[in-house]
Amino acid sequence: MLRIAQTLNGQLLAAMERAFPAAAEQARAAGQCLDPQLAPASKPEFGDFQANGALPLAKPLGQPPRAIATAIVEQLAADPAFAELFEPPQIAGPGFINLTLRPERLAAEVQARLGDGRLGVPEVEQRAPVIVDFSSPNIAKEMHVGHLRSTIIGDSLARVLEFRGHPVRRLNHVGDWGTQFGMLITHLKQVAPEALITADAVDLGDLVAFYRQAKQRFDDDEAFQTTSREEVVKLQGGDPVSLKAWGLLCDQSRREFQAIYDRLDIALCERGESFYNPYLAGVVADLDALGLLVVDDGARCVFLEGVSGKDGKPLPVIVQKSDGGFNYATTDLAAIRYRFAPAPGGDGAHRVIYVTDAGQANHFAGVFQVARRAGWIPPYGSVEHVPFGLVQGEDGKKLKTRAGDTVRLRDLLDEAVERAEADLRRRLVEEERSEDEAFIQHVATTVGLAAVKYADLSQNRTTNYQFSFDRMLALQGNTAPYLLYAVVRIAGIARKGGDLQSGGPAALTFTEPQEWALVRELLKLDGVIAEVEEELLPNRLCTYLFELSQVFNRFYDQVPVLKAEDPARSSRLALCRLTADTLKLGLGLLGIPPLERM
């Protein structure tokens, strides 16, 4: 009901200005306007909206808030456009104004959504190019559960922003450059030289083991460390042998990553750290020209304003190490500069969103400050770090295997599907149903992967969450199987003879409280999606879809649909259709495909 709320806010503001012209003029003189403080009603018995703007006016006007609310309501009553939308307003408590939409208006809103593929969610008026930076695994390392949150959250946010009409570039900032390659190439030259000249000579699992061995040697052996650094210089200098080895390692890892992305239906455009390598020296030179660089203990850095260490001194962002090398901060500064720069020399973004773990918050805060001081973020541009917490085991500790290793993402997804399949086969036996193998595999894969995605997205991303297969695969509660089953339940209505494809009667008629509760829940969709777009919290959408499923199930259990007579039957079938369409749209924005049967 976002559009109605915007209309109502304008009507309330006009009523307040007519009732209190002196206060309105005073606000305008201060460059402000009166605030109706409009919000959705906190309880159904309070109507659809609640305006609390009378309370803050009490002190400056020297009047009781109920008297102020009464004056506003009198002005609303004189507005014919308001009367067409709303029942007579009610004043409650110290001066709250409760507002209830007319039944015919609610029914008309439902009718309009039945013929609207966007279900009443408008596209943005001002489209702005957005970059969402997410997933970002490292070459020569397998994707693990730590990449799960970035990948799933980033994909969902990109889907929402795309649905709203923004041009979105989904970037995978892969760790494909730096000291680790010198270390790995040096090690492989000595123990597995075929890996550097032949594609897929070793699989990624072996490559990960080689990486660990190389890291151990780098930490323990000074000679190996020196040779590794020399190898990095060769790579950065464009040595053809080193570049070929680097390319083979990247390609092998890239194919493994893509297998995970395909499985999760994740679309990404890879642009690794290596892409920005030609721009790093320019970042340092320009920061120096701007007078921002300070040499400290041989390193070149920018000291942050308003951010101090334990010693009380400003903290530095190092952009060039004492040995002349660059680091993550340098690369991230080059990336920000490129992403905001207009085409053809950049992406021309207006909003850049980084989906990484909460542990990188200080890093990004420092990089963002330096970029702003350098003038690389335009006045219209915004950079946002979307932090998320850890994935924990049921013991509340960081999720690991029994051997103490980080859980591989591939293994986690395999287990989710296997558990979903076992649960499905058990239910088929209990229900004495017979299904072919293709059906079982399709449902198990859909439910297993959906359960993993939804369990993550339904949490407030800023907190840690405990990973539990039993909870996420349950058919009850705030889970993907519960939402998928609601869609399946509505599909069953169609199989039993309910016509869900017609647009419904010319005028929908609702009489039961359960019908009106479902109507009002359905009409919240546009506001919820606008919230996710602004606040970048996918759990808001999950909560809405769960609550919608609960309201629908109460409606379907308590109100006859197929056995009802027209026009009630057609109107109730229309509600079923709109519920299914809303759930499918919402699940799609979470990256979850629906099922017709399960």
Structure token digits, residue 214:
């190389």
On the question of pLDDT at 579 being above 90, the answer is yes
Residue 384 and residue 339: Cα distance in Å, rounded?
Answer: 13
How confident is the model over 63-79, as pLDDT tens digits?
899 999 999 999 999 89
**Phi/psi at 533 (5° precision):** -60, -40
* Pairwise pLDDT comparison (128 vs 506), residue with the higher score: 128
DSSP state at residue 469: H
Looking at this protein, which amino acid is placed at residue 487? V
Q: What is the pLDDT of residues 537-559, one digit of tens each?
A: 999 999 999 999 999 999 999 99
The pLDDT tens digits for 287-303 are 999 999 999 989 999 99
Report pLDDT for 121. 95
Residue 286, both tokens: 């320009």
Write phi, then psi, for 517 (nearest 5 degrees).
Answer: -65, -40
Measured distance CA(217)–CA(187) in Å, rounded: 8
d(CA 467, CA 406): 14
Mean pLDDT (whole number) for 516-538: 96
Q: Is the pLDDT of residue 221 over 70?
A: yes
In this predicted structure, what is the pLDDT of residue 140?
84
Q: Are 582 and 119 in contact (CB under 8 A)?
A: yes
- For residue 136, pLDDT over 70 is answered with yes
Instruction: Note the pLDDT tens digit of each residue in 356-380.
Output: 999 999 999 999 999 999 999 999 9
- Does residue 417 surpass a pLDDT of 90? yes
Mean pLDDT for 335-360 is: 96
Type and span of the H or E element at 208: helix 204-220
Taking the alpha carbons at both ends of the chain, their separation in whole angstroms is 32
DSSP string, 479-517: SHHHHHHHHHHHHHHHHTT---SS---SS----SHHHHH
More confident residue, 29 or 568: 568
pLDDT at 202: 74
Say what the pLDDT of residue 485 is.
96
Segment 99-125 shows an average pLDDT of: 93
pLDDT in tens, 161-214: 999 999 999 999 999 988 888 998 898 888 888 878 887 777 767 778 888 899
pLDDT at 504: 65
What is the amino acid identity at position 50? Answer: Q
The confidence band for 489, taking pLDDT boundaries of 50, 70 and 90, is very high
pLDDT of 42 reads: 83
pLDDT given at position 402? 63
CATH number of 2-101: 3.30.1360.70
pLDDT at residue 541, rounded to an integer: 98
Query: For residue 408, what pLDDT band results from cuts at 50, 70 and 90?
Result: confident
269-270 β-sheet, strand order: 269-270, 168-172, 130-133, 351-357, 382-388
Predicted local distance difference test score (pLDDT) of residue 196: 80
Average pLDDT over residues 569-578: 93
Place 404 in a pLDDT band, splitting at 50, 70 and 90.
low
**Mean pLDDT value of segment 222-236:** 89
Check residue 401 and give its pLDDT. Answer: 65
Tell which residue, 362, 404, 367, 361, has the closest CA to residue 386: 361
Lookup: tokens for 36: 């109706």
Count of H helices and E strands in the chain? 22, 14
224-238, 335-349, 377-391: which range is least confident on average? 224-238
Q: pTM (2 decimals)?
A: 0.92
Tokens representing residue 477 in the block: 């509660």
Percent of the chain with pLDDT over 70: 98
Q: What is the mean pLDDT of the chain?
A: 91
Chain centroid to CA 490: how far?
Answer: 27
Can you give the pLDDT at residue 31?
83
Which residues, 6 or more positions from 287, have their beta carbon under 8 angstroms from its beta carbon?
293, 302, 319, 333, 370, 374
Q: What does the buried/exposed string (b/e) look like for 313-347 if buried means 16 or more CB atoms within 10 Å of the residue's CB?
A: eeebbbbbeeeebbbebbbbbbbbbbbbeeeeeeb
Per-residue H/E/C for 538-583: CHHHHHHHHHHHHHHHHHHHHCCCCCCCCCHHHHHHHHHHHHHHHH
Higher pLDDT, 327 or 399: 327
Q: Are 76 and 12 in contact (CB under 8 A)?
A: yes
Higher-confidence residue of 237 and 342: namely 342
Q: How distant, in Å, are the alpha carbons of 32, 69, 154 from that of 57? A: 14, 10, 42
CA pair distance 375, 287, nearest whole angstrom:
10
Residue scoring higher pLDDT (305 or 210) = 305
Residue-level pLDDT at 258: 94
**What are the extents of the domains in the chain?**
2-101, 179-261, 274-346+360-378
Region 151-155: mean pLDDT is 97
pLDDT at 399 exceeding the cut of 90: no
SS3 label, residue 293: coil
